[in-house]
Chains A and B, each alone.
Chain A
Amino acid sequence: MKAQSTAHRVSRTLLFHVFTAACGLLMVYPILWLAGSSLKGPSEIWRKVYSLFPEHPTLENYINGWKGFGGVSFTVYYRNSLVYTVLATAFTIVSSAVVAFGFARIRFKGKNFLFACMLVTMMIPPQILIIPQYIVFSKLGWVNTYLPLIVPRLFGQAFFIFMFVQFMRGIPLELDEAAQIDGCSRGRIFWSVHLPLMKPALFTGSIFSFYWTWNDFFAPLIYLNNPKRYTLSVALRSFSDPSGLTDWGAIFAMSFLSLIPVIVLFIAFQRFLVQGIATTGLKG
């Protein structure tokens, strides 16, 4: 009787693992397929389209793809994306933390109203802002530069401000008071008390910001017209333009290459991401 129920439990566990693993593999199949196809030679790529493993793996696609188009190689696109992402993320996280301290720790007139305004801005569709913003930035002569992409990041982003405010509310007020008695200014309290304690939140925020900026497409598409200025996302779009001559092997290779930073970050830091999404309850 007991042996039977143990056997029953084991078979249930086995069934669970087989089923879940099969579903999970199905979900990542397209990405594995992209990686596998990028290593296939030109004759193989259309022969056994579905296979994950190239019979004769070659880096030919990567070499051909890296040359890019119009005389601009992927070195440029990769560098542009990296610079944009790192700068924008640093600006966003620092400015958002400063603003969050104001909202979380200082009582000032109109705070609740402004905080509500900030939450509401998360819901505004970007389409309504982008047209007037574009007009102003183009009058300033900022089109085809990174200024319209990076300067707005100096003013904090509502999602991260909200995330940091939530986190700061968990830091005991006694710490602020003790520091104040010791004669610390607001700036000192923020810098020496809050920032060190906020490291996990700042880190999680940086990862989210990195993802969103790395994958950002709409703003670079609108503001950057010169191929030398393209980020990876805009470059990939032109590179894979269906009306042009298309070397699918090279497109696969460059697409996969653009995903690598994102995938590596995910594997390294998925614990932070899972927590971030579960606690803010917002999209990721």
Chain B
Amino acid sequence: MKKRATTSASAGRQRLDNLAGYLFISPWLFGFLALTVIPIIASIFLSFTNYDILSPPRWVGLQNFKKMFFEDPRYWKSVRATLYYALTAVPLRLIVALSVAMLLNTSRRGVALYRALFYVPSVVGDSVAVAVMWRQIFGGDGLVNAFLRLFGLPGKRLWLADPQFAIWTLILLAAWQFGSAMLIFLAGLKQIPYELYESADIDGAGPVRKFFSITIPQLTPIIFFNLVMQTINGLIVFTPALIITNGGPLDTTNFYALYLYKRGFENFQMGYASAMAWILMLVTALLTLVIFKTSSRWVFYESEVK
């Protein structure tokens, strides 16, 4: 009898807890349903229609996808440009980040100041102001050409109008913002047990050997996590492409998110843009799955070190 009373009391308590829990998370729950779940479902429907907002959506079946994959050369060009960008800019950024992190991983004085200097580009990097500045740096009368002339080199190239170089100005802008990755690597470097390096010293290993046999393997989980996360973000880069090159020249920087924006919000082809968004969603989901499948490794690593 007594036992039953306590179980019903604890059941009552649990009911109260349920109520309190849902009360606290209700803002998020509402937003999750209204601004995430329903839009995703709506987006599936839209991708099978033609819709320009003014007139009601018209069902066209798989036509958007068919047009995208087989009849729109600009689509594939934008896929190629985006992959090229993500697969060069992200590794480049991580290499720079790791190099600088290793340089700053000392107890010398002034490190905090240097760390701040290297981080500044990441603080301002996403802004329109920096994109506008970048356009001027690589412009015909810009900073890069001025420097080339200063060293007696031909400084007349129109970097942003050159189909070969335009995308590299955007890659450089991304690599310049290596600050966050640098901070994460620095934190990771500090967690590598010092004894590993000491015993390597005793074995007579040189700095290169130590780098490849200790530093890299110890950092692999962090490097990998950052590589995938930043690739996902690299696939949706938008602001610099719109401001600096506006997709040109010859669509060589017409990145996926920019092309989607032009289709959706300049041509008001909401159906086509939704179809494009769904392909992006699938690719992102695939990459996310890679993180989750391998997460046991890097999570284990963190808890083990701590």
A residues whose Cβ falls under 8 Å from a Cβ of B: 13, 16-17, 19-21, 23-25, 27-28, 30-31, 33-34, 46, 48-50, 95, 98-99, 101-103, 106-109, 111, 114, 117-118, 120-121, 123-136, 138, 152, 154-156, 161, 186, 190, 211-212, 214-215, 217-218, 222, 232-234, 236-237, 240, 242, 248, 251-252, 255-256, 258-259, 262-263, 266-267, 270, 273-274, 277-278, 281-284
Smallest CB-CB A-B distances: 8 pairs? A155-B31, A108-B21, A102-B24, A24-B117, A49-B146, A132-B39, A255-B129, A132-B42
Chain B interface mostly helix, strand, loop or mixed?
Answer: helix
Contacts of B281 in A (CB 8 A): 124-125, 128
Contacts of B14 in A (CB 8 A): 107
Nearest-neighbour CB distance to chain A for B241, whole angstroms, equals: 12
Contact bitstring B85-118, A, C-beta under 8 A = 1, else 0:
0000000000000001001101010100011111
Q: Is residue B59 contacting chain A, with contact meaning CB distance below 8 A?
A: no
Nearest-neighbour CB distance to chain A for B201, whole angstroms, equals: 17
Nearest-neighbour CB distance to chain A for B94, whole angstroms, equals: 12
| Sampled A-B contacts (18; CB under 8 Å) | A125-B277, A127-B257, A127-B277, A128-B274, A132-B42, A155-B28, A217-B238, A218-B239, A236-B128, A236-B132, A242-B135, A255-B132, A259-B129, A262-B123, A278-B183, A278-B184, A281-B222, A284-B122
Q: Is the Cβ of A99 less than 8 Å from the Cβ of B277?
A: no
Other-chain contact of B117, A28, A111, A232 (Cβ < 8 Å): A28
Question: Total interface residues on B, using CB and 8 Å?
Answer: 95
Contacts of B63 in A (CB 8 A): none
Which segment, of B64-72, B162-170, B203-211, B228-236, faces chain A?
Answer: B228-236
Nearest-neighbour CB distance to chain B for A273, whole angstroms, equals: 8
Contacts of B129 in A (CB 8 A): 34, 233, 236, 255-256, 258-259
Contacts of B305 in A (CB 8 A): none
Nearest-neighbour CB distance to chain A for B41, whole angstroms, equals: 8
Q: Is the Cβ of A95 less than 8 Å from the Cβ of B147?
A: no
Nearest-neighbour CB distance to chain A for B72, whole angstroms, equals: 17
CA–CA, A263 to B183, complex, Å? 18
Q: Is the Cβ of A28 less than 8 Å from the Cβ of B21?
A: no
Other-chain contact of B270, A131, A218, A234, A259 (Cβ < 8 Å): A131
Q: Is the Cβ of A20 less than 8 Å from the Cβ of B21?
A: no
Other-chain contact of B280, A24, A128, A161 (Cβ < 8 Å): A128
Q: Is the Cβ of A281 less than 8 Å from the Cβ of B39?
A: no
Q: Is the Cβ of B146 less than 8 Å from the Cβ of A266?
A: no
Q: Is residue B119 contacting chain A, with contact meaning CB distance below 8 A?
A: yes
Q: Is the Cβ of B278 less than 8 Å from the Cβ of A106?
A: no
Residues 203-247 of B contacting A (Cβ, < 8 Å): 222, 225, 229-230, 232-233, 235-236, 238-239, 242-243
Contacts of A259 in B (CB 8 A): 124, 127, 129-130
Q: Is the Cβ of B277 less than 8 Å from the Cβ of A131?
A: yes
> Which of A120, A133, A233, A277 has most B Cβ within 10 Å?
A277
CA–CA, A226 to B163, complex, Å? 34
CA–CA, A234 to B32, complex, Å? 28
Q: Is the Cβ of A99 less than 8 Å from the Cβ of B232?
A: no
Contacts of B179 in A (CB 8 A): 284
Other-chain contact of A49, B114, B141, B236 (Cβ < 8 Å): B141
Nearest-neighbour CB distance to chain B for A256, whole angstroms, equals: 7
Residue of A nearest to B145 (CB): A49
Q: Is the Cβ of B127 less than 8 Å from the Cβ of A262?
A: yes
Residue of A nearest to B31 (CB): A155
7 further A-B contacts with Cβ under 8 Å, apart from A133-B35, A277-B183, are: A107-B14, A109-B18, A128-B43, A128-B281, A131-B39, A152-B35, A255-B129
Q: Is residue B260 contacting chain A, with contact meaning CB distance below 8 A?
A: yes
Nearest-neighbour CB distance to chain B for A77, whole angstroms, equals: 11
Q: Is the Cβ of A262 less than 8 Å from the Cβ of B124?
A: yes
Nearest-neighbour CB distance to chain B for A266, whole angstroms, equals: 5
Residues 8-50 of B contacting A (Cβ, < 8 Å): 14, 17-18, 20-25, 27-32, 34-36, 38-40, 42-43, 46
Q: Is the Cβ of B273 less than 8 Å from the Cβ of A152?
A: no
CA–CA, A120 to B43, complex, Å? 18
Nearest-neighbour CB distance to chain B for A92, whole angstroms, equals: 11
Nearest-neighbour CB distance to chain A for B114, whole angstroms, equals: 5
Contact bitstring B141-161, A, C-beta under 8 A = 1, else 0:
111011100100000000000
Nearest-neighbour CB distance to chain B for A23, whole angstroms, equals: 7
CA–CA, A258 to B180, complex, Å? 22
Q: Is the Cβ of B133 less than 8 Å from the Cβ of A120?
A: no
Nearest-neighbour CB distance to chain B for A8, whole angstroms, equals: 15
Nearest-neighbour CB distance to chain A for B259, whole angstroms, equals: 10
CA–CA, A28 to B120, complex, Å? 7
Other-chain contact of B288, A103, A123, A156, A240 (Cβ < 8 Å): A123
Contacts of B135 in A (CB 8 A): 240, 242
CA–CA, A277 to B225, complex, Å? 14
> Which of B23, B36, B186 has most A Cβ within 10 Å?
B36
Q: Contacts A107-B17, A124-B281, A155-B35 given; indicate if A186 touches B24 (C-beta within 8 A).
A: yes
Contacts of B276 in A (CB 8 A): 127
Contact bitstring B255-269, A, C-beta under 8 A = 1, else 0:
001001100110000
Other-chain contact of B184, A120, A232, A255, A281 (Cβ < 8 Å): A281
Contacts of A154 in B (CB 8 A): 27, 31
Q: Is the Cβ of B265 less than 8 Å from the Cβ of A222?
A: yes
Other-chain contact of B127, A128, A233, A283, A284 (Cβ < 8 Å): A233
